[in-house]
Structure 1
Amino acid sequence: MRRYDTVVRAARAVVDGREQAVDVGVTDGRVVVVEPLGALEADGALVVLADDEVLVPGLVDTHVHVNEPGRTEWEGFASATRAAAAGGVTTIVDMPLNSVPATTTPDALAVKQRAARHQAFVDVGFWGGAVPENLGTGDLAALHEAGVFGFKCFLLDSGVEEFPPLDADRFGAAMHELAGLDALMIVHAESGDLIADLAHGPAYRPFLDSRPSAAEQRAIALVIDTARATGGRAHVVHLSAAEAVPALRAARADGVRVSVETCPHYLALDAAEVPDGGTDHKCCPPIRDAANRDRLWAALAEGVIDCVVTDHSPSTADLKALDTGDFAVAWGGIASLQLGLAVVWTAARERGHTLAEVVDWMATGPADLVGLADRGRIAVGARADLAVLAPDETFVVDPARLHHKNPVTPYAGRTLAGVVRRTYLAGEAVDLDAAPRGRLISRPRSQQ
């Protein structure tokens, strides 16, 4: 009889793109067998899910701003990874900006890794940054060799001075350099030329009008053209403008190496619902109208949008200008790492989508984006990173009960479906009261 460290018995589990009744055998932190329900004899621990629970793979969130070091009062590795685990996320990839120093050199990466080590409750990887100062210096190649999962750039002002944008020529040069490494470039794609100055005030409509869909369309056209010309790999982050979908669809059909993500707030929120002074809803690009949201859902269902990740971009409450509600000065970012699964599942099931689809968008898709083929799925050989979800249980969002460092969220008071009851990292339940067990991870060696 084969021995297992743990057998997880689930009458409902998302395996191979559908719900199945299975036993999952785990040894040394990995799934070693998936068999029909009741087929395995448990000589070690036996975990039996309740009738209202579903076993899903741990989510992979490839768009998280942890901000430590430098702006740790905004968020930090301990608080962010606690929130991740509480929300069923077992792997995050940290963005290179909003921390100080920005992750644009190997030395800066080492600083970030030292800050994260021994604080992480889930596994943490890192993006590098592509900025004018590190092009052609060897830093991109050195960061790639050090194991970053790819490189982030902005095509307009990033909002922080230590992470300047690339103009069209420098973006082309960076894409050419990264194409030689076969490294992924992820792009904040808005054109600053089409973004208007914003007058002070609490109304949302002027802010929305100041960042039109055309700004995304123009920037995405540049991304597509540059990826086509260089043969490089490009990924558009946080797509909000559905008008850009046809160009992305056509480019992919032509073999251009371009992928795209969207975020929970673009799928769940509607510009018409943003109240005056609701700066907790401010993000860039902005939340658009309900018709645009419907088209994003259609693109997601079609597969033109590859994945859904949070773009967890927190700040202190004062920077959100909650006291004045002034959209012109409020920090643009939404913190949702702990809530992403519930937000998307709540909206998805109302539209007739299955939990298996949500798993594909939020676990398998992001894992595949960064080459983590052994995560984001329940399969033989995969890491036993798992979450136990009660999909029909509801809860009301109380910001004070979230693990995010700052209790600011546009979902406050909303009723969401989907409660994560337990999260497993490498086969062991995550205990937020114990010492953290998350690891720092690098790009798989097969991609180096």
Structure 2
Amino acid sequence: MSFPTTLSDWLTHLESLHPKGQAGIELGLERVARVKAALGQSEFCPVITVGGTNGKGSVCAYLENILDRAGCKVGCYTSPHLLHYNERVKINGQPVADETLCAAFAKVEAARGSEALTYFEFGTLAAWEVFAAAGVEAIVLEVGLGGRLDAVNIYEPDVAVVTGIALDHTDWLGATREDIGREKAGIFRPGKPALCADAKPPQSLLDHAAAIGAELKLIGRDFGFEKSTEDRLQWRYWHTIGGELQRRALAFPGLRGTAQLANASVALTALECLKDRLPVSMGAIRRGLIETEVAGRFQVLPGQPTVILDVAHNPQSAQVLADNLSNMGFFNRTHAVVGMLGDKDIATTLAALKGKVDTWLLCDLNVPRGATAAQLAEVVASLGGAVECHADPYAAWQAALKRTAGNDRIAVFGSFHTVAGVLPHVGQRHRQPDGTPS
């Protein structure tokens, strides 16, 4: 049997295996479960599965960093990637090498037989092969879409986390929060901790947890956070795991925004539930939280002009972005580089930024499901600010740089594809002594 020899060739091969290609979505566990069995995969260390509409990437990052600082060998599988596929499969925060991925892909290919796996299913099985070969001591899995029928759900979690629940991917998950909550609750397991960081969880999630006998723990009831009134540089995490109220004073996490306190709280609660198997010190917690960085999650870049990269792509995450922009201090003007996928709730998402953007630099996304700049322009026409249309994120980025002057800022958001289109070029910012771009 002849296999591809480079990571690029393997990824091209993965795209060809399923009729829907890389962008294809075919929910269901039957195919991927059969290949898991053929590979002989089984759970060999504590597994934390993290789902939710927004915030799951941040929670995974907190878990990964804290466990790393605690001296644990931890594997973390997330998606999508921004620039390189290797970003999806990391051990102790480091993307694995091409050769390691290629070896794992070869094992999956040899085992799959005639199964037409999707790109994500194949990658999920390969990530597990990487972690098993490395002998990791903990695994953090991020749900790709939904939960119940997502490929990562073939693995049995010791703790399952659902962050927030909002309307997104409605074509696959349902048109209401109740529908979506039911799908996301599908990662819960009987008799195992099931954590939810949504302040108002759908009844469907509560009902499913009760029906299967999961140990449901809710933010605001079983764990949560408080902003310190004595020290503006600290916040308090609390929980009642074990029945006794405990509080810890902590420095604010490295990721910005009030929403990150909820994400940090649920990550700490997941570790609290596993403390007998994965003990972590307060020093590891403090370092792990403070030193966590995730590209594209309200990532504020150093230098001039101030640049914010955010993969916000639905109404809930856009509102968080808007709040974070408001809390940054004074800027003369805000220029927004925006590209979105056409199946998102574009109108409601962009409406969250009404009155906060002076110039909309809209771009086509030349990917499957990508919206055009013209489509976005129809939406933002009523939101105020000047509007420009560009062929791609890089062209919009260049136009934004030409417009910046003095104390301006540039916000790049709307999709992973938008941020990925700009990220390789953000270091190419040069300013004259008078503050104007060169």
Using structure 2 for the length normalisation, give the TM-score.
Answer: 0.30
Choose between structure 1 and 2: higher helix proportion: 2
Q: Compute the TM-score of the two structures, normalised by the length of structure 1.
A: 0.29
Which has the higher relative contact order, 1 or 2, with Cα contacts under 8 A spaced 6 or more apart?
A: 1
Would you tell me which structure has more strand in proportion to its own residues? 1
